[in-house]
Amino acid sequence: MITVTKPFFPPIEDYQKYIVKIWENQWLTNRGNLVVELEDKLKSYLGINNVIVMTNGTLPLHIALSALAKGGEVITTPFSYVATTSSIVWEKCTPIFVDIHPEYLTIDETKIEAAITPRTTTILATHVYGNPCNVEIIEEIAKKHNLKVIYDAAHCFGVTYKGTSVFNYGDVSTCSFHATKLFHTAEGGAVFSQDEELHNQMFFGHNFGHNGPHEYFGIGTNAKISELQSAMGLSVLPYMSDILDSRRRICELYDSFFDNENFTKLKIREETKWNYCYYPLIFKSEKKLLQTQQVLNENNIFPRRYFYPSLANLPYVEQKSLTITDDISSRILCLPLYYDLTLEDVEVISKLILNVNS
C-alpha cells in the first residue's frame, strides 16, 4: 500500500541513545535536558532566535491567539487544515474568511483590507504547502491598521524566504512536528516570535502560566513537550538533508510527468527556498479528480484531498462562498510523497494518473 505520506523513522540506535539518557536522568517531562537541547539545535539549524517546542502543532495556535487576538475578529484563509479555523473559534474569536490567490494558494493579500472592521484584531494566514504568503504586503496592512499577524506555518520547516527563515515573519509563527511532517517529534509543534516580551508571554502560556513555582504570569495551559518526543526530534534532525534530497528528487520526477495542460501545479513564491513538503496537483475538474482517485485506490495507492472542503463551509462558522477557494479545493489532490517512496513507485503513480487524464 502506498499512502499519501509516511513518517520518517531514524535508525533505532539513534533513538535508543537518547532513551538511555532519559533513564539516566529519570526525567520525562517539565522541560528536561532533551527539550532544551532540541530547542538549541533547532535555533541553530533554522537560523532563528527564539523557539518554544510544544506537545502538538495546534496548541501553539491557541496560545498565540489567546495572546494576540483578544476575542476579536480574525481575518484568515479558508484554504488550510481545520486546526487553523477551529483554534480561532475555540479561543472565542470570529473567523473572517478571505479568498485565496489562484496560483500561490495563500490568502489573497489584496482582499484583506476590505475585510477589516473595528472588531478586527489579528490576521491569521497559512503558508500553504510550505509556500509563503505575501508577507511584505500583509505586514504593511497590519501596521496601517494596528493589527497583529500570526502565521500558521505548519508546513514550513526549513523554508526560507529572501534568505531568512519564514518563521521570522509576523508577530508569531507556528509549526507542526506531527509524525507525517518533514521534521517530526512523533507528535509535536513549536511557536516562534522575535519579540522577547511576546516570546516570554507564550512561554508562560504553554506552562499553565507559571512564573516560578508559586507565582503566575497569567492564564495558561499545558502544552509542554516530553523528553520522549524530544528524543525523537533529536534523532530525526541529523537526517534533514537526506530527507529533503529524497523529497526533491520525487517532486522533480512528478514535475516531469505533469508538465502539460491537463494539470496545474502550485506556483512557489519568488525568492523562496521550498521544502518539498507536499505535491499538490490541480485537475481540470472535480470529476477528473474523483476518477483519478478511484483508479489509484483500486491500485492500492491513496492520495489525499488536502485541503477539502473549504473551511468556510464548516458547520460551526458563518458559512461563506469564496469563488477561488471553492473551485481549487474541489480539484486539488496531494500525491504520495515521503522519504522512502521509490522513484519506481512515483512512475507507476504518475502513469496511472496520466492514463485517466489523457
Q: How confident is the model at residue 144 (pLDDT cuts 50, 70, 90)?
A: very high
Residues 224, 225, 226, CA angle at the centre, nearest 5°? 120
For residue 214, pLDDT over 80 is answered with no
Q: Which amino acid is at 293?
A: Q
CA distance 103 to 118: 31
Q: How confident is the model at residue 211 (pLDDT cuts 50, 70, 90)?
A: confident
> What does the pLDDT look like over 1-37, one tens digit per residue?
999 999 999 999 999 999 999 999 999 999 999 999 9
- Mapped onto helix, strand or coil, the DSSP state of residue 150 is strand
| pLDDT, position 215 | 73
For residue 213, pLDDT over 80 is answered with no
CA distance 127 to 151: 7
Name residue 333's beta-bridge partners.
281
| pLDDT, position 167 | 98
Q: Which helix (H) or strand (E) holds 51?
A: none
* Residue 165: Cβ within 10 Å count: 22
| pLDDT, position 58 | 98
| pLDDT, position 218 | 81
The helix, strand and coil proportions of the chain, stated in percent and rounded to the nearest 5, come to 40, 20, 40
Q: How far is CA 119 from its chain centroid?
A: 27
Grid cell in block for residue 73 = 475578529
The pLDDT of 213-221, averaged and rounded, is 80
> What does the pLDDT look like over 284-326, one tens digit per residue?
999 999 999 999 999 999 999 999 999 999 999 999 999 999 9
* 307 cis-preceded (ω within 30 degrees of 0): yes
| Residues in the chain, overall count | 358
Q: What is the mean pLDDT of the chain?
A: 97
For residue 178, pLDDT over 90 is answered with yes
**Looking at domain 240-356, which of 1.50.40.10, 3.90.1150.10, 3.40.50.2300, 3.40.50.20 is its CATH number?**
3.90.1150.10
For residue 216, pLDDT over 80 is answered with no
* Residue 215: Cβ within 10 Å count: 8
**Residue of 181, 178, 280, 188 lying closest to 240 (CA atoms):** 181
CA distance 87 to 76: 11
Architecture of domain 2-238: 3-Layer(aba) Sandwich (3.40)
Burial of 246-261, coded b for 16+ CB within 10 Å and e otherwise, reads bbeebbebbeebbeee
Domain boundary assignment for the chain = 2-238, 240-356
Grid cell in block for residue 148 = 497583529
Instruction: Name which of 134-143, 182-191, 215-224, 333-342 the model is least confident about.
Output: 215-224
For residue 180, pLDDT over 90 is answered with yes
**Residue of 137, 211, 175, 150 lying closest to 42 (CA atoms):** 175
Q: How far is CA 354 from its chain centroid?
A: 29
CA distance 173 to 194: 10
Q: Tell me, yes or no, if the two domains 2-238 and 240-356 fold the same way.
A: no
**Residue of 293, 272, 281 lying closest to 251 (CA atoms):** 281
**Residue of 190, 204, 219 lying closest to 70 (CA atoms):** 219
Place of cell 461563506: 320
| pLDDT, position 210 | 81
Number of helices (H) and strands (E) in the chain: give both, helices first. Answer: 11, 15
For residue 223, pLDDT over 90 is answered with yes
| pLDDT, position 89 | 98
> What does the pLDDT look like over 41-76, one tens digit per residue?
999 999 999 999 999 999 999 999 999 999 999 999
| pLDDT, position 139 | 98
> What does the pLDDT look like over 243-287, one tens digit per residue?
999 999 999 999 999 999 999 999 999 999 999 999 999 999 999
Percentage of the chain lying above the pLDDT 90 cut: 96
* Residue 16: Cβ within 10 Å count: 12
Please tell me the pTM assigned to this model.
0.97
